[in-house]
Amino acid sequence: DCKSTKGWTPLAGLTMGNVSGAGFELKGEHMYGPEKSYGKNGWVTFSVENASNTTGIYLVFRHSNGKPGDSRFEGLAIQLIVNDNLVNSLGYRVYDNGKMIDEAVGSGKNMQFRGDNKKPIFKFQLLDDCLYMYCNDEDDEWTNVMKTWCNLNCTNAGNFGIYTKDNNGPPHMIKY
């Protein structure tokens, strides 16, 4: 539940973001995750409210140290840029430990997604050495994989969390 800080804990020595009845505000630099999120495999679904060029949202999986983008980062992370230059487009950067392993950012490189672009609903599933991404697919019971990353190096257990930084403009909110 993203409507209070109960059951959530800060990660990587950072603080938690502001929270209200609408969800966590994704502004400023914060990193936090559910208290009971430690593990190796699993899935998460969430929606991003006011989704417009959300450059500073990272989902973090199997986290044990550091922040995404840093050379000392230990874990998996995906930076999501919802409505990256175009409506219904998605830019991303994927980090496996301290190395960026995939990027699709900017016009002509980003992906298109179907459905709601104001508050898209995502699902990410981590299974062994693969990360699966879905978007606005709940009506089909999450059967249409949008993107897959396999042969990941980070296979140890760790925490799930959200890392935010540098989100300007209207307050983006995450609901879970």
Q: Please, which residues bridge with residue 164 across strands?
A: 30, 57
Q: pLDDT of the chain along its 176 residues, tens only?
A: 566 677 788 888 887 777 766 666 666 788 888 888 899 999 988 877 666 656 678 899 999 999 998 889 999 999 888 776 666 778 889 999 989 999 988 777 878 777 777 778 889 999 999 999 998 888 888 888 999 999 999 999 999 988 887 655 544 455 44
The two structure tokens encoding residue 122: 């995502």
Q: pTM (2 decimals)?
A: 0.84
pLDDT value of residue 151: 97
pLDDT score recorded for residue 58: 87
> What is the b/e burial string over 13-30, where b = at least 16 CB atoms within 10 angstroms of the residue's CB?
ebebbebeeebbbbbeeb
Tracing tokens 């989704």 back to the chain, one arrives at 51
Handedness of CA 165, 42, 130, 124 (dihedral sign): negative
